[in-house]
Amino acid sequence: MRVLVTGATGYVGRVVVRELRIHGHEPVVSHQRLMEPFQVPDADAVIHLAGLARVRESFQDPLAYWETNVAGTLNLLKALRGQRFLFASTAGVYRPADATLTEESVREPSSPYAATKAAAEDLVAWAARSGQIGAATLRLFNVAGGGDTDTTRVITRAVATAAGQGPGMEVYGDGSAVREFVHVRDVAAAFVTALETCEVGESTVYNVGGTSASVREVLETVEEVTGRPVDVTWRPANPDEVKVQRADTSRLRALGWAPAHSSLKEIVSDQWAALHR
């Protein structure tokens, strides 16, 4: 299958391109700007990874996030007829809950970034319902490993801190907050799995998670793997912080996908190795 990939040179995009080739597909790297009229080459499918993705930054410039993530997705959808379309969304669209999150859990975005992803999800779903495309929306939880460079992410920051890169890290609360982590290789595999089962006229949402762990467990694992301490400054807890985030991935697993690389130790070990390559 010939697959156009937006954001192909980014952190997730590079791994998705490699995974497509492994499975016999032909990835086509897009260098077009989302804010311009989009030209889709001869392609059977599109994997849409491009966009702005920093939560804190989105509060400072929400309009830029809406323009890129929503209007940009709209521009891309306008150029499609009959293709399969896979959209990278975020677990941030969900209302915080102690219960494990399923694809049917209530959406309640708590940041401009997450709100733009929820809006784009709706665009994609309605386009599929009209018969224009076949759609799969993948709600990614905390992607990690594989040489991530975004030190706003907890595992990436902790590993970089252990390596002596940067001034250390701040943790709010006692480190008991639980998050769902997934290796970037498992994310790429999820896109390929969803691609091969996507049908025109249908729209499906998939959670993409791997393993849940507390922030304190992350710090302990980083110190165990690296043999180095992680310099942490402990701050008072943020009363608005989500205490628990866990993913139900049974819908994606039913297609034959499973997170093969997402144990906490493997994610940390891979990130540490990538940092020294």
Measuring CA to CA, which residue among 185, 187, 245, 258 is closest to residue 215?
A: 245
Spot the catalytic one: 11, 113, 172, 206. Answer: 113
Is the Cβ–Cβ distance between 159 and 145 less than 8 Å? Answer: no
Active site annotation includes 113: yes
How far apart are alpha carbons 47 and 73 in whole angstroms? 11
Q: What is the 3-state secondary structure (H, E, C) of 105-122?
A: CCECCCCHHHHHHHHHHH
3-state secondary structure 184-243: HHHHHHHHHHHHHHCCCCCEEEEEECCEEEEHHHHHHHHHHHHCCCCCEEEECCCCCCCC
Buried b (16+ CB within 10 A) or exposed e, 35-66: eeebebeebebbbbbbbbbeeebbeeeeeebb
Distances (CA, A) of 92 to 12, 26, 72, 214: 17, 31, 19, 17
Q: Is 136 helix (H, G, I), strand (E, B) or coil?
A: strand
Q: Report yes or no: 187 and 142 within 8 Å, Cβ to Cβ.
A: no
Q: How far apart are CA 243 and CA 241, in angstroms?
A: 6
- Known catalytic residues are 113
